Copies of this chain bind each other. A is one copy, B any other.
């Protein structure tokens, strides 16, 4: 650094101090630019045909129609807290973080600076984060973490439920901003790569019978509309770790009030 300059005046390696591009700036696609790119790396995946990207023209049309029919009420609180899961196996923790912040639950402890706030790394109660990094969490662990952090959680195992119940839950919670519904399903059953996955549901389109999935693995797939019946079928998939099916969960901020029932036992080997 030349004498007399401050760190703020330090020159960028690609542009000079007057904003002019320097010679030798690496070009995109130049293999010398980012030598750390492994041969097998991915820049997003294409959605299967039956899924409609949130920000496509067709996705915007579905959004407008669903909004007009009143089924995007809890979209707004969720959208205000939309996030990407912070690790490739943190879909459960990312989904729960988003839900807890959307429900305005005070974590009662500090995130960074003076701010009380939820991030995935703070959800370290029911199982170790190192283990979660390797293999994710089960539906039971998700519910346990939700309750430990101040949410009321009602769980529905796909194998014990039916499509009409799922539709009723999605319809009801899409119309009420004080609830979040999350879904635990097998991606392979909806034509996507991967297996077990969690994401929140951000809205419902009744005529098309499609659900807006607020995908938390945004480095892979964008948020998208997906047929409700196909998503429900994917919740019936059995998780090999627990021997129980996946499912869906409604969350609300109160520990005092149970929306769906008064006794939700969690028994998939927490």
Contact of A144 with B by CB under 8 A:
yes
Given contacts A34-B109, A42-B114, A115-B42, contact A125 B12 (CB under 8 A): yes
Q: Which of A54, A107, A117, A222 has the most CB of B within 10 A?
A: A117
Determine chain A's interface SS by DSSP, over half rule.
loop
Select from chain B the residue with minimum beta-carbon distance to A153: B19
Are A148 and B82 in contact (CB-based, < 8 A)? Answer: no
CB neighbours (8 Å) of A6 from chain B are 269
A33 to B33, alpha carbons, bound, how many Å?
Answer: 49
Known: A112-B87, A117-B219. A15 touches B269 (CB 8 A): no
- Evaluate contact between A54 and B37: CB separation under 8 angstroms: no
A9 within 8 A of B: yes
Q: Cβ of B67 and Cβ of A88 under 8 Å apart?
A: no
Verify if A64 is at the interface (C-beta below 8 Å from B).
yes
Enumerate chain B residues within 8 angstroms of A176, measured Cβ to Cβ. none
Interface contact A9-B116, CB-CB below 8 Å? no
Does A167 lie at the interface of the complex (its beta carbon under 8 Å from any beta carbon of B)?
no
Q: Give CA–CA (A114, B20) in the complex, Å.
A: 34
**A82 surroundings in chain B (CB, below 8 A):** 79-80, 82-83
- Stretch touching chain B among A156-164, A183-191, A226-234, A259-267: A259-267
A147 at the interface (CB under 8 A from B): yes
Bound-complex Cα distance A105 to B11 (A):
24
Asked if A143 is an interface residue, CB under 8 A from chain B, the answer is yes
Complex contact B80–A9 (CB within 8 A): no
Interface string of A227-266 (1 = CB under 8 A from B): 0000000000000011000000000000100000000111
Which of chain B's residues has its CB closest to A118's CB? B219
> Apart from A19-B267, A36-B109, A42-B115, what 5 extra A-B contacts exist at CB < 8 Å?
A14-B144, A21-B147, A41-B115, A80-B222, A88-B115
A-B contacts, 21 listed (Cβ < 8 Å): A7-B131, A14-B147, A14-B148, A15-B126, A15-B270, A19-B144, A19-B265, A19-B266, A34-B107, A40-B114, A41-B114, A55-B79, A59-B76, A64-B67, A79-B82, A82-B83, A83-B83, A83-B84, A87-B112, A88-B115, A116-B219
